[in-house]
Structure 1
């Protein structure tokens, strides 16, 4: 099984191959994108992503969230998380 890095557009819920490892996220133009190391032959699964602006209430403690990255968009700073299963 060889793996490939794929690029995806950020959304609250995304479909990625099972076992995908999100490596990085950043803006390309006005679109927030993320890159993941995936097995392109694997079946797809749904993942939940959360975007939190600096200074706002973070995700609830009962959600098990994994930090991905912090990105900058002009004067805004966003912190990106993925819900862990």
Structure 2
């Protein structure tokens, strides 16, 4: 049986988060000022490390062919905008 889980992420270029194998990432947004990814998961599945990358608007992206877009989130009333990707 699948469930939707929330995973907090950092505003940093590269990070890994533990998710169940086969997790389907649904969106990235902020909740109470904290960026989070929501994913539909099988909580009983084995865990794997998922490589996440966050880029600010205007930042250089070196290997865009390895990235799958997740979504965009804003912080500080929209003064900072970040774009989130899963790395393959």
Q: Which of 64, 84, 87 matches 1:83?
A: 87
Question: Aligned with 2:51: secondary structure?
Answer: strand
**Number of aligned residues:** 82
Q: Deviations over 1:17-52 (max 9, x none)?
A: 000011011111221111000011100000110000
Q: 2:16 — aligned with what?
A: 13
- Give yes or no for contact 1:63–1:83 (8 Å, CA) kept in 2: no
Q: Structure 1 stretches of 5 or more lacking a match? A: none
Q: Structure 2 stretches of 5 or more lacking a match? A: none
TM-score, normalized by length of structure 1?
0.89
Q: Whole-Å Cα distance in 2 between the matches of residues 67 and 48 of structure 1?
A: 12
- Give yes or no for contact 1:52–1:79 (8 Å, CA) kept in 2: yes
Q: Whole-Å Cα distance in 2 between the matches of residues 45 and 61 of structure 1?
A: 22
Q: Which residues of 2 match residues 1-80 of structure 1 at below 5 A?
A: 2-11=1-10, 12-58=15-61, 60-61=62-63, 64-73=66-75, 74=77, 75-80=79-84
Shift of residue 63 of structure 1?
A: 5.6
Aligned Cα root-mean-square deviation (Å) = 1.4
TM-score, normalized by length of structure 2?
0.86
Question: Aligned with 1:55: secondary structure?
Answer: coil
